[in-house]
Amino acid sequence: MATEKLYFKNDYSEGACEQILRRFMEINYQQNTGYGTDEYCKSAEEKIRLACNCKDAQVKFICGGTQTNQLVISTMLQPFEGVIGTTTAHVAAHEAGAIEYSGHKVLTLPHHDGKIDPVELVDLIETFWNDDSHEHMVYPGMVYVSHPTELGTLYSKAELQAVANVCKNYNIPLYLDGARLGYGLMSEESDLTLEDIAELCDVFYIGGTKVGCLCGEAVVFTRNNMPKCFVAQIKQHGALMAKGWVTGLQFDTLFTDGLYYELGRHAIEMANLLKQGFVEKGYKLSVDSPTNQQFIVVDNEQHKKLSEIAVFENWERLDKEHTVVRFVTSWATKKETVEKLISLI
Can you point out the beta strands (E) in 157-302?
Answer: 174-178, 203-207, 217-221, 284-285, 293-299
Return the residue of 124, 231, 285, 309 that touches a second copy, per CB under 8 A. 231
Work out whether 335 is an interface residue with a second copy (CB under 8 A): no
Q: How many residues bind a second copy (CB under 8 A)?
A: 83
Residues 154-173 that bind a second copy (CB under 8 A): none
Question: What is the number of other CB atoms lying within 10 angstroms of the CB of residue 33?
Answer: 11
Interface residue with a second copy among 235, 281, 304, 335 (CB under 8 A) is 235
> Binding of a second copy at residue 300 (CB under 8 A)?
no
Considering only residues 55, 171, 224, 242, which one is a binding residue for a second copy as defined by CB under 8 A?
242
Measured CA to CA, the distance from residue 169 to residue 150 in angstroms comes to: 27
CA angle 204, 172, 237 (to 5 degrees): 50
- CA-based Rg of the chain, rounded to a whole angstrom? 20
DSSP 167: H
15 contacts a second copy (rule: CB under 8 A) = yes
203, 76 contact by CB (below 8 A): yes
Does position 82 interact with a second copy (CB under 8 A)? The reply is: yes
Residue 294 pairs with which residues in a beta bridge?
Answer: 327
| Min separation Cβ 175 and a second copy, Å | 15
CA-based nearest residue to 120, from 92, 86, 93: 86
Q: Which of residues 249-268 bind a second copy (CB under 8 A)?
A: none
Residues 83-142 that bind a second copy (CB under 8 A): 93-98, 100-101, 103-106, 132-133, 135-139
Nearer to a second copy, 199 or 269 (CB): 269
Should residue 175 be labelled a site residue for a second copy when binding is judged by CB under 8 A?
no
Selected from 314, 318, 321, 335, the binder of a second copy by CB under 8 A is 314
CB atoms inside a 10 Å sphere around CB 215: 17
Given the complex with a second copy, which of 164 and 296 has the nearer CB atom? 296
Residue pair 85/106 in contact (Cβ under 8 Å)? The answer is yes
- Options 53, 156, 225, 236; binder of a second copy; rule CB under 8 A: 236
